[in-house]
Structure 1
């Protein structure tokens, strides 16, 4: 009879704290067919002693046979699972635009009774503007600092970096509600045009490799076409809202 695969796991399980990576490590081992010899480290002193004994800096720690695999990230890599990259990635902005598109389709369907409509396209842009503004407003200081790397106006007038996310959010809310076009249209057109010109100069003329501030100051999204898209959306939405009464 084939013996079950076993692994030893040491993780923090305290009254006031249960390590989430320890829980994930146990789940990953069990999902991979291992019987887990689960050792709980129940106090800070016990945890520190364990780290000193095995010369490790973090817990959890997993052993398979006599081989120490390491923490959760090491364990995930051992089983061939994707490991989160610290490098630049378009995934965050792709996820945001995808979710905003689904929200816009759902909301417009309720409002119009049509699965796809002009309203769903309008709300996709305005919802995206609101979501992007929110991400910037989480930490305006960090956003404004990253923004200074490439924005033409912010480089000349620092307060613009602080104003930008509020302006984007305001335009997005007003365009969602279809009110005060006299405010939303010029605001979106202005910040979108400055933003597009800034990205074009930094990426395509100066050939700079920078991170985009579109998702806030902690973004790993590369400055480039996707960054340009945010600004082109705002410009297109402003122009559409301006001509819409004459074409419908």
Structure 2
């Protein structure tokens, strides 16, 4: 958004009037209409809220104003458009579908860290080795959960770079279940004879695959680490996930052998 347009928005929002036309039906309440009203109120506008309560009323509005969607916002008689256009008008960031974002991964690691600290607090030792182990195990479990939301989409993205999955396609479907299994067992400290080799195997294959795709072949791909709709680029984050699993597998050997 240009500086001039941003200045116009700021200058015109001093208790100016805005009009919003939005769908409010018995079986459908438009969420973007609610967001538009809320954004305008937070920006200091007095909002005239026109609720379109029937399909016929909505269609008539769109035909009259020559628009294809609702909500539609008007400020001082000028049509701004829908919710995304309104955000642009106020200089808010509007994320595109192809825009890179590390937010999903940061959210996973932040939640895993908080869970690990919470359990550590409950066990009487906040910053301990066990807290670090739990952080990795929780991270593995949460990442697996995100993949399991849509295994088909995950497998499609995973096949772009995983060397084993490219040879044995069923592995792309098994991977998230294996990651979850290893993570949960490591949280419990149970059946390490199974958890350790699983973590070592999928972590090693994953690390080699990511390293080859990114640092040798120089391919620009999206990472499937947080699921098939990820906007996280394949690279350091993906490699870190796999190295964490490898390291956790090696570390947990000390418990298995009674060290």
| 1:109 corresponds to | 121
* Uncovered stretches (5+) of structure 2, i.e. residues with no partner: 1-13
**Residue 74 of structure 2 is aligned to residue 60 of structure 1:** no
* Uncovered stretches (5+) of structure 1, i.e. residues with no partner: none
**Residue 134 of structure 2 is aligned to residue 123 of structure 1:** yes
Trace 1:46-85 onto structure 2 (pairs within 5 A).
46-85=57-96
Is the CA contact (8 Å cut-off) linking 2:16 and 2:76 kept in structure 1? no
Aligned pair partner of 1:197 in 202, 208, 214: 208
Q: Aligned-residue CA RMSD in angstroms?
A: 1.5
Q: Which whole-Å deviations, capped at 9, do the CAs of 1:1-47 have from their partners, x for residues lacking one? A: xx841011101111222211111111111111111111111111111
Is the CA contact (8 Å cut-off) linking 2:87 and 2:94 kept in structure 1? yes
Is the CA contact (8 Å cut-off) linking 2:112 and 2:135 kept in structure 1? yes
Return the offset for 1:244: 4.6
| 1:88 corresponds to | 100
In 2: Cα distance, 1:85 partner to 1:104 partner: 34
Task: Give the structure-2-normalised TM-score.
Answer: 0.91
Aligned pair partner of 1:44 in 41, 55, 60: 55
Is the CA contact (8 Å cut-off) linking 2:192 and 2:256 kept in structure 1? no
Return the offset for 1:245: 6.5
| 2:41 corresponds to | 30
> What number of residue pairs does the alignment pair up?
245
Q: Which whole-Å deviations, capped at 9, do the CAs of 1:135-161 have from their partners, x for residues lacking one? A: 111111111111110000000111110
Return the offset for 1:55: 2.1
In 2: Cα distance, 1:173 partner to 1:226 partner: 21
